[in-house]
Chain A
Amino acid sequence: MKRILIAAALLLLLVVAGLAMWMRTGTESPSVAALGAVSGEALRDPALVARGGYLARLGSCAGCHSVRGGPAFAGGWAVPTPFGSVPAPNLTPDPETGLGHWSFADFWRALHHGRGPDGKLLYPAFPYTSYTRVTPQDALAMYAYLRSLPAVRQETPAAKLEFPYNLRSTLLAWRALYFRPGAFRPDAKQSEEWNRGAYLVEGLGHCNECHARRNAWGATPRGTVLAGGEIPRQDWYAPDLSTRQNGGLQGWTAQDVVDLLKNGQSARGAAFGPMADVVRDSTQYMADADLHAVATYLATLPPRAPRPAPHSAFDVKRIAAAGEKVYRKHCADCHGADGRGVAGVYPPLDGNSAVTEPTGINAVRTVLLGGFPPVTAGNPRPYSMPPYAQQLDDGDVALVVSYIRQAWTNKASIVRPEQVGKYRHTPID
């Protein structure tokens, strides 16, 4: 019954969307048409290819368009979504299984309009919602780079989506609500550096695809820019990126932001989970000027409303006191009894968004999994955290996480043992 209702609702949206699309069919801008005429030889220009490679790094394209251990850009990783999984296709120039036959216009249509060469609507697991802001010149460089890759013959598996999401036409409705092809519009009141940062963060960096809440339709509604959100199906929380009052990164300096993106670790925290992958594949290779531009932009995200103090039916004081015992035994040696950690070695837990984010997922999973921050040129031999999945039961993990979420200046809600058990077997890929 529920599905029929959903289908009916979507059908209605479809009609509305169809009308909307019909009313705003436009033509491609002259610059795109001109770039489409660029000759094959010009596309092999090493400087253009190198710039495209750098931009593909910034976009972390290979992060989705490769499987672990497989050839880069040859696709195959099934992007998990609440609606099913969408495998990222092969981007190498293989004529049959890759982009061998794609013209620049085809590439632009995918990146900017979210449509395949045949006009087919692409699933927004491919973040064209962000990439639509990429300039035609940058798109051309990336196109040139992808053409320069060795062709890998590797079929992309079909998407596995539930009804009615397996019908691509449902995307018409979705797009009518949540997607407008658009360009990045520089803010004349801001510096060139700020604008560069905004372009990278909102465009290729597609930061908002994780660092914002998604609604029931898997979209990031307006007004949720980089304010943090749970990453569906991956079970991590991408924190709010505001560095100002009540922001997830409150108190972070520009240097802290640069350090985290470049080295995988700053004095305020370490990259872990999906962000560690982003640092590994993408941000560690960013030019210093771009890193500083990103930090400059993030510094202007607005302050956030204070989060209401959590109230709980449980005896929070007693839980935190019991959790402190676990903390002193297992955690204080590295993170310090005062929760301040050791700069550059062990992250502070006091005021760390990984600890205080709204859900508690990150702290729970980090206690269970431990792990290494990413290996980078600036941090080639990182210190690691032991996994506690074997040593601590769900109750103890809940206690210690509740404690660190309440201790020092932290004022986040406690977590319950049921919330821990859930994450013991979460897939890590």
Chain B
Amino acid sequence: MRPAYNRRMDISMRPGLGRLLALALLVAVVAPRAAGQVVDTPRVPDTLVQRIAACTTCHGVHGEGTPGSKYFPRLAGKPAGYLARQIQNFQDGLRKYAPMEYTVRNLGPAYMQEIADYFSAQQVPYARSPVPPVSAATLQRGEQLARDGDPQRKVPACASCHGTELTGVEPAIPGLVGLPYDYISSQLGAWRTHTRAMRAPDCMAVIAGRLQESDITAVAAWLASRDLPAHVRPQAAGTVEPPLPCGVLETAGAGA
């Protein structure tokens, strides 16, 4: 960036010599101050939000997600530990989604945590995203999987880890409320195709592997169409006992 007074001089240099001399005097007086000012360059707020435009353009300024996109998930209010781990997983290539992998590839742990803390602390209203038309039976199956699981297929209920109201559990289990249908179904699909993974043992990969294709549609549709519970903050830490061994939660699993 060239100091602004240079450009002013470019324009004012045209008049005759006499006026030029006066002008030179004026510039000599004004320049030291003008040089320190940023006159016509945009003033950049020294804030985290300004810094993370790469995140907010898809996930929203408050991490509210972009329900209209039918894809970009909400980050607001999710446990900070979970969000920081996802950034790390994208960086390490455990989660595969090229735009995210590229965006986070050169972030360091402290900055990742700061970004995660920011989105975790945001409290903004949830918005509905569109759900494809599915039958009542499908929604019923989705609700069954979410609340009770499917003991025959050894699929634990979503609620057994993600909290009674599926709002997540501090510090590392994300809520499943207010997420777009496409996002949820593609994540479960990604666990089956190993394009989303976690530190071993990867409990979600096990669960996704036990689901049928139709189950993924059912649970994604039910979760995406469900009315929001009264309280949407994650449950307190230690209030769930995950049924499967899970590397990221450092749990041995209660058996399922």
Contact = CB atoms under 8 A, between A and B. Distances in A.
B84 to A, nearest CB: 14
A381 B111 contact: yes
B186 to A, nearest CB: 16
Interface stretch (B54-62, B146-154, B214-222, B240-248): B54-62
B24 interface: no
Given A68-B91, A280-B106, A373-B106, A387 B41 contact: no
A381 B106 contact: no
Interface in A66-123: 67-69
Contact of B110 (A336, A380, A386): A380
Contacts of A276: 105-106
A341 B1 contact: yes
A280 B111 CA distance: 14
A316 interface: no
A361 to B, nearest CB: 15
A427 B92 CA distance: 15
Interface string A168-192: 0000000000000000000000000
Contact of B42 (A69, A342, A380): A342
A277 interface: yes
B40 interface: yes
Contacts of A277: 105-106
A371 B103 contact: yes
A326 interface: no
Interface in A288-335: 333-334
A356 B149 CA distance: 57
Contacts of B107: 372, 375
B99 interface: yes
Contact of B53 (A336, A340, A386): A386
Main secondary structure of the interface of A (DSSP, over half): loop
Contact of A342 (B41, B51, B52, B57): B41
Interface string A45-76: 00000000000000000000001110000000
A372 B106 contact: yes
Given A387-B99, A428-B101, A428-B102, A334 B42 contact: yes
Given A67-B93, A342-B1, A345-B44, A387 B111 contact: no
A68 B98 CA distance: 13
Interface in B200-231: none
Contacts of B99: 369, 387, 389
B69 interface: yes
Nearest to A332: B42
A280 B108 CA distance: 9
B57 A386 contact: yes
B98 A336 contact: no
A369 B52 CA distance: 14
Contacts of A343: 1
A374 to B, nearest CB: 4
A24 to B, nearest CB: 44
A375 B51 contact: no
Contacts of A43: none
B41 A369 contact: no
A280 B1 CA distance: 25
B198 to A, nearest CB: 12
A277 B106 CA distance: 7
A276 B38 CA distance: 28
Given A371-B54, A384-B55, A428 B98 contact: yes
B48 interface: yes
A239 to B, nearest CB: 19
Interface in B26-61: 38, 40-42, 44, 48, 50-58
A372 B112 CA distance: 12
A371 B1 contact: no
B114 A374 contact: no
Contact of B52 (A334, A341, A345, A384): A384
A267 B3 CA distance: 13
Contacts of A380: 108, 110-111
B14 interface: no
Contacts of A393: none
Interface of A: 67-69, 264, 267, 276-277, 279-280, 333-334, 336, 338, 340-343, 345-346, 348, 369-375, 380-387, 389-391, 425, 427-429
Interface of B: 1-2, 38, 40-42, 44, 48, 50-58, 69, 91-94, 98-99, 101-108, 110-111, 114
- Sorted nearest first, the 6 A-B pairs with minimum C-beta distance are A69-B92, A384-B54, A386-B57, A374-B106, A375-B108, A343-B1
18 contacts: A67-B93, A68-B92, A69-B91, A69-B94, A264-B106, A277-B106, A340-B1, A342-B1, A342-B41, A342-B42, A369-B99, A371-B102, A380-B110, A380-B111, A384-B51, A384-B55, A386-B56, A390-B69
